[in-house]
Amino acid sequence: MRGRAARAPCAGRMALVVAAILSWLLAASGQASAHAAFISSQPADGAVVAAAPSEMLLTFSEPVSPLVLRLIRPDGSATDLTGFGTRDAVVAIDLPDLPEGTSVLSWRVVSVDGHPVGGAVSFSVGAPSVERPPGAASSASDRVRTAIWAVRTVLYAGLLIGAGGAFFLAWMAPGSRAGAGAVRAFLIAGLAAAPLALGLQGVDALGIELDGLLDARTWTAALGTTYARTACVAIFTLAAGLVAVGRAEGALQRAAGTTALLGTGLALALSGHASAAAPQWLTRPAVFVHGVSAAFWVGALLPMAVALRKPDRQALRGLERFSRSIVVILAALVVAGVALAVIQVADPKALGETGYGRVLLAKLGLVIVLLALAALNRWRFTAPAIEGDAAAAKGIRRSIKTEIAVATAILAAVALWRFTPPPRVLIVEAATPVSVHLHSQAAMADISFRPGCAGPVAVAIYPMAADFAPMEAKEVTLVLSKADAGLEPLRRAATKVDGVWRVDAMQIPLAGIWQIRVDILITDFDIAKLSGEIELKH
């Protein structure tokens, strides 16, 4: 009775800590909205302007922080731009004096979910250059991407297997040392991975190679992202786990174990695609609950596997306590996971059509295997194993080893999400208009497709004379062709509405690069044919 009475106040204090963390996450939820998507620029990509602009505006789907702004002039020379300001989701960049020809702004920014986003925008002063200067924003190389994936997988294993295992030993099996050495190894591996993961965040943010880890600017960039909070909390969490599996006993061990478990959920909730999605009042707490539940479940596997190999009554009692608790924990895990998946995927078709969706399907398949193994353990093996049945103990130990392997595969899959924007972001990007500027010696035209993706679109055409003055055309015809798909050209006559030539409800059957031509009838005997390419997204 005294043991139960002593545990009750501790459980009450844990509930208060959980409530405090969830309240803090809710309070912080207004600080972020979603993974940033590039919306538009002014001047627009591909635009030709009469005079050199003094400022360039980049508009995103949410506020961002610039990391690299590099201007490539028509002669190929590059300048890093440091003069900029941010207004909500708009970045205003000061431009130097520019000569005639095509310039490229290569940009790289970090969104509030901690993920860098890069791109390039070109525009021409007077007339386009014969050759466009290089300037696409750099992106992570295969070596950098592999390093990020591997290090984050190790960090996740340290948090879920290590910190979760520390909680199990502190609360479910106090006094037991079953699996403590293996749990400690995962915690130490996670501690080594956390600062390295932060450094790789800086490497990715700046779009540089792995040798950039030795550059102070890399770490400065990393510390300016929300991932820095995740790394710092992870380090504190893993250190607490080491205390719990060390020589600590009683209240100190339970406090350290509680910190390890709750810190895992907090670290995961402080950055990432899911935690930054709207509505924040739901997603951040859901990530926290999902992380805590996963750590409770996965962290118990190693100690239990060892306990079943060696006689350890304390650990076997922990197995019994775990068996009673796991149903509620799994319910919380599944509910939180389903809520996050619905928000991130948005459209069920995206499950098979996007990288994020395919990773999610793989994860769900592995989770189903894990749930089946957990059900087998609980309903067939647990009770006989606790009573001393050697065959049941052998069966559950074999099943737990499989669970550990499957759980590790899940962590490796989750680490891939760093490189796959969620479908909700792709929907925003696809809905963004796509523009192209076409020109010849006799005429020019700006053409805008809204939305900039396959399917039904509305096309707006703005004909101009060679001196940028509006052109009074007699007829305007739009022609789209995609020879690599074996399609006949799509030809549509535009209608003039309020000074703009429009083609409404045009059906684009395929995504990809299309050849575009605009025929402008200037007089009965004079026609200008403008051609180029435009890329429409899925």
DSSP for residue 501: E
DSSP result, 144-203: HHHHHHHHHHHHHHIIIIIIHHHHIIIIISTT--TTHHHHHHHHHHHHHHHHHHHHHHHH
Query: If one looks up domain 433-536 in CATH, what number appears?
Result: 2.60.40.1930
What one-letter code names the amino acid at 193? A
* CA-closest candidate to residue 329, choices 301, 304, 298, 284: 298
Closest CA to 206 of 221, 216, 184, 223: 221
Q: What is the pLDDT of residues 466-486, one digit of tens each?
A: 778 888 899 999 999 988 887
> Which ranges of the chain have pLDDT less than 70?
1-35, 130-140, 311
Q: Which residue has the tokens 């809520």?
A: 339
Predicted confidence at residue 181, as pLDDT, reads 95
Domain map (residue ranges) of the chain: 38-125, 141-426, 433-536
Q: Is-cis flag, bond preceding 279, omega within 30?
A: yes
pTM: 0.80
Tokens 């609980």 sit on residue: 378
State the pLDDT at residue 242: 97
Selection from 217, 140, 123 nearest residue 436 by Cα: 123
* Lookup: tokens for 439: 């020109």
Q: What's the rounded Cα separation, in Å, for the pair 282 and 279?
A: 6
- 38-125 in CATH: which number? 2.60.40.1220
Residue 47 has a pLDDT of 80
Sheet arrangement for strand 38-42? 38-42, 55-60, 90-94, 84-87
Q: How many residues does the chain have?
A: 538
Please determine whether the domains at 38-125 and 433-536 fall in the same fold group of CATH.
yes
- pLDDT confidence of residue 148: 95
